Amino acid sequence: MGEGADKPALIVFGPTASGKSALAITLATRLGGTVINADSMQVYRELRVLTARPTHGEEALVPHRLYGVRPAAESSSVAWWRDAAFEAMAAANAQGRIPILCGGTGLYLAALTQGLAAIPDAGPTARTEARALLAELGSAGLHARLSEADPASAARLRPSDGQRIARAWEVWRGTGRGLAAWQREPTAPASGWRFAAIVLDPPRADLRAAIAVRFHQMLAQGAIEEVRALLARRLDPALPVMRAHGVPEIAGFLRGEIAIEEAARRAILATGQYTKRQATWLRGRPLVPTATHTIHARFTSETQLSQSILSEIGDFVCRAG
């Protein structure tokens, strides 16, 4: 694989529990690829089970990168992931392997393929203030205050999303401009790569069933113990890892507030709602505007790749390489 300006990279994108990891491993096995994580929660090392990271056995089948590489006590960021992803892609290419980016965090993948606004560091004072206000007012209260100070940014955020609301407040206070204004600035797109995206689109009923089955499997595989260990560290509740699907619900069970059956019901419901937001996000913008094409497929984890899809992907790789 050469070092020209058209190195091929594949993206496997889809909602939670749609079978992305299994598909990425299949592609990597057949094409000689390296699977690179593009999920904002699977970067954290403490939640292998609850974030559905590939198992040790799956990781042994083909090279995997950027899984479990961040401690729970640290916040990840789009900018950090983008830089790390490009490094992993370059390393895969140097080894003669196809980078296969796998995940459902659309913002990560859009930053990779379309560029990222250069938002200045807001500084420690603004960060401290944002965290203090989030703790004092709660996410809805801080969202209301942000709506007055920076309505354009607030309109993009759900009142329950405390982490992103605090980030928007931090940027407004630290830079004098709202996050939405910075994000409208011209960005630096990816150079030296051509992307093709496979978008998994399983039927909603199948997806809901897969989410339920997978969550109960997680409980059997140690998800409760993972959350218990996480809570024992007394981390900042505003950290992203503390909001991973299943963590708040299992935490409620461990505190004796709800039964495990209710915790499971709430976690499954929340995950299903998140998959709807993932679908809405994708409908609102092209994932890979520079791609030769985007391949839409109604895969589930049991579905085998058709020969036509494999041929289409193979043609893309050959043209790009």
First to last CA, the chain: 6
Using alpha carbons only, give the angle 10, 70, 77 rounded to the nearest 5 degrees: 65
Contact status, residue 177 vs residue 184, Cβ threshold 8 Å: no
Tens-digit pLDDT profile for residues 41-89: 999 999 999 999 999 999 999 999 999 999 999 888 888 999 999 999 9
Q: What's the confidence (pLDDT) of residue 185?
A: 73
The residue that leads in pLDDT, 280 or 267, is 267
Q: How high is the mean pLDDT of the chain? A: 86
Please state, in angstroms and rounded to a whole number, the distance separating the CA atoms of residues 295 and 197.
6
Q: What's the confidence (pLDDT) of residue 85?
A: 96
- Of 12, 30, 29, which Cα lies nearest the Cα of 21? 12
C-alpha 28: how far from its chain's center? 20
Q: For residue 227, with 0-12 CB atoms within 10 Å meaning exposed, 13-18 middle and 19 or more buried, which class applies? A: buried
Q: For the ranges 1-10, 78-87, 237-246, 310-319, which has the lowest average pLDDT? A: 1-10
Q: How confident is the model at residue 212 (pLDDT cuts 50, 70, 90)?
A: very high
The residue that leads in pLDDT, 97 or 279, is 97
The residue that leads in pLDDT, 68 or 311, is 68
Q: What's the confidence (pLDDT) of residue 1?
A: 46
Q: For the ranges 125-134, 180-189, 224-233, 282-291, which has the lowest average pLDDT? A: 282-291
Is residue 252 pLDDT above 60, yes or no? yes
Please state, in angstroms and rounded to a whole number, the distance separating the CA atoms of residues 39 and 28.
18
Q: DSSP characters for 181-236?
A: HHHTS------SEEEEEEEE---HHHHHHHHHHHHHHHHHHTHHHHHHHHHHTT--
Name residues whose C-beta falls within 8 Å of residue 188's C-beta, 6 or more positions apart in sequence.
115, 116, 118
Is residue 39 pLDDT above 70, yes or no? yes
Tens-digit pLDDT profile for residues 155-165: 888 888 887 89
Q: What's the confidence (pLDDT) of residue 301?
A: 43
Please state, in angstroms and rounded to a whole number, the distance separating the CA atoms of residues 150 and 152.
6
Q: In the predicted model, what is the mean pLDDT of residues 93-119?
A: 88
Please state, in angstroms and rounded to a whole number, the distance separating the CA atoms of residues 13 and 21.
10
Please state, in angstroms and rounded to a whole number, the distance separating the CA atoms of residues 183 and 180.
5
Is residue 189 pLDDT above 70, yes or no? no
Name residues whose C-beta falls within 8 Å of residue 1's C-beta, 6 or more positions apart in sequence.
7, 8, 93, 96, 97, 98, 321
Q: For the ranges 37-41, 86-90, 123-127, which has the lowest average pLDDT? A: 123-127
Q: What's the confidence (pLDDT) of residue 300?
A: 44
Please state, in angstroms and rounded to a whole number, the distance separating the CA atoms of residues 132 and 159.
17
Phi, then psi, of 55 in degrees rounded to 5: -75, 170
Is residue 171 pLDDT above 50, yes or no? yes
Model pTM greater than 0.85?
no
Please state, in angstroms and rounded to a whole number, the distance separating the CA atoms of residues 169 and 185.
18
Using alpha carbons only, give the angle 41, 60, 213 rounded to the nearest 5 degrees: 50
Q: DSSP characters for 223-290?
A: HHHHHHHHHHTT--TTSGGGGSTTHHHHHHHHTTSS-HHHHHHHHHHHHHHHHHHHHHHHHHS-S-TT
3-12, 174-183, 207-216, range with greatest mean pLDDT:
207-216
Q: In the predicted model, what is the mean pLDDT of residues 228-255?
A: 93
Q: How confident is the model at residue 3 (pLDDT cuts 50, 70, 90)?
A: very low
Q: Which domains does the chain have, with CATH numbers?
A: 7-116+187-320 (3.40.50.300), 124-183 (1.10.20.140)
Q: At what angle do helices 106-114 and 78-94 cross, to 10 degrees?
A: 60
Is residue 192 pLDDT above 80, yes or no? yes
